[in-house]
Amino acid sequence: MLRVGINGFGTIGKRVADAVRAQPDMTVAGVAKRTPDYEAEIARDRGYSLFAAAETTPFTAAGIDVAGQVRQLVAASDVVVDATPAGVGERNRALYEELETPAIYQGGEDASVAPVSFNARANYDEAVGADAVRVVSCNTTGLSRVLAPLEERYGIEKVRATLVRRGGDPSQTGRGPINDTLPDPVSIPSHHAPDVKTVFPELSIDTMGMKVPATLMHTHAINLTLRATPTAEDVRDLLTAEGRLLVIPERLGIDGAGKLKEYTRDAGRPRGDVWENCIWAESLTVEPLSDGRADCYLFQAIHQEADVVPENVDAIRAIAGLADGPESVERTNEALGIGC
Ligand code: NAD
């Protein structure tokens, strides 16, 4: 069993820990946190060995036992997943390198933190045996998953995507906007287009970002020019066959993120997590152009707290050489119940 340490037990880290625990070929060596807050209590209650990212005293003062300091966790791990706040991963890099523990970073880090920016569907093989990998952000993951099959089957000439982003996660009480609709950033392209190009270096893509007073999910409005003229049905069939794309039929009556989250909570998913991209079937539209190309349109919703979680699991397998891409994705999907 591969021993996986998780440094940072917040929104992403706690989900990655639970996902690792659910896999047949890996185990959680422990989790590290900086603060003895409610999430530290959850780590303890779930039976994870808890390590202090800084001083142990605040934990013992709060009555929470710690197994040691983060250095010991990294030393005892075959792979470490860094899920600390954006920018902290870069500061932790020296420790992972000193202890020669391969590391997985998150999308809040600059791409320069690791030699590979990773999406399981698009470039798994590039991460096999790497010393460090960055799992791209929730939005870049969502875009990469839908673009990879379209690029493979039809070729993509140009992508134009508008990302309507939630102002903050449900637990991020200090974020906003509270009552506004912001172009964010106002400049074009937003940082998402260059981030997608860390996965697809040859792709022509422009993105525009917005932020709105919502916490549940992001919504992407995507327009792409294909180098072929499939029908809308062809595109729907292609995307429906992808394990991490949920093409939502009209009959379900799901009109937005609220009902999507309700659907996954009703289905008994942990935390109501939506690991897949959710694409509205009736939004899939193809307009043939005169010269053998076609414009394709779609809306998709992305659960920012969840979609990168299976990607972290696959990045662990890639870095450790435990499986090839399709095998890993299948194993992860089966263990978590993705696509069900
Ligand atoms: P978070 O604030 O919810 O959790 C961070 C955790 O790290 C907390 O448990 C905190 O106590 C701990 N921590 C803080 N400083 C630490 C340190 N020095 N050492 C160890 N632990 C420390 O953050 P998050 O939302 O889980 O984000 C983590 C990373 O994932 C960031 O790079 C972020 O950009 C990325 N990401 C976040 C989302 C999202 O929507 N939340 C989506 C995709 C990617």
Q: Is 138 a catalytic residue?
A: yes
Task: Assess contact for 135 and 104: CB atoms under 8 A.
Answer: yes
Residue 219 Cβ inside 6 Å of ligand 1? The answer reads: no
How many other CB atoms are found less than 10 A from the CB of residue 6? 32
The pLDDT of residue 66 is above 90:
yes
The answer, yes or no, to whether residue 282 has pLDDT greater than 80, is: yes
Q: Ligand 1 centroid to 100 CA: how many Å?
A: 22
Model pLDDT, residue 275: 98
Sign of CA dihedral 184, 188, 193, 194: negative
Mean pLDDT of 76-82: 98
Task: Determine if ligand 1 sits within 6 Å of the CB of residue 137.
Answer: yes
Going by C-alpha positions, the residue among 75, 61, 5 that lies closest to residue 33 is 5
Indicate the pLDDT class of residue 39, thresholds 50, 70 and 90: very high
Structure tokens at 178: 């509270």
103 beta partners: 80, 132
- pLDDT at residue number 339: 84
Q: Domain locations in the chain?
A: 2-136+308-336, 139-302
What's the CATH class of domain 139-302? alpha beta
Mean residue pLDDT of the chain comes to 97
Place 295 in a pLDDT band, splitting at 50, 70 and 90.
very high
Residue 179 scores a pLDDT above 90: yes
- Please identify which of the residues 138, 278, 296, 340 carries the catalytic annotation: 138
Helix axes 325-336, 120-127, angle to 10 degrees: 120
Q: Where are the alpha helices (DSSP H) in the chain?
A: 11-21, 38-45, 57-61, 70-75, 88-98, 120-127, 138-154, 192-197, 232-240, 257-266, 308-320, 325-336
CATH class of 2-136+308-336: alpha beta
* Nearest CA owner, ligand 1 atom 32: 108
Q: Please tell me if the CB atom of residue 258 comes closer than 6 angstroms to any atom of ligand 1.
A: no
Report the C-alpha dihedral over residues 27, 38, 304, 248, rounded to 10 degrees.
80
Q: Is 10 close to ligand 1, i.e. is its CB under 6 Å away?
A: yes
CB proximity list for 157: less than 8 A, separation 6 or greater: 204, 224, 225, 226, 227, 293
Q: Which residues, 6+ apart, have CB-to-CB distance to 26 below 8 Å?
A: 1, 2, 3, 4, 20, 313, 316, 317, 322
For residue 290, is pLDDT > 90? no
Question: Using one digit for the tens of pLDDT, what is the confidence trace for 252-276?
Answer: 999 999 999 999 999 999 999 999 9
For 102-115, what is each residue's pLDDT tens digit? 999 999 999 999 99
Mean local confidence (pLDDT), 122-148? 98
Tell me the CB-side half-sphere exposure of residue 6, using CA atoms within 13 A.
Answer: 30
Render pLDDT for 196-213 as a digit per residue (tens, 0 to 9). Answer: 999 999 999 999 999 999
The identity of residue 23, as a single letter, is Q
Alpha-carbon span 100 to 258, nearest angstrom:
44
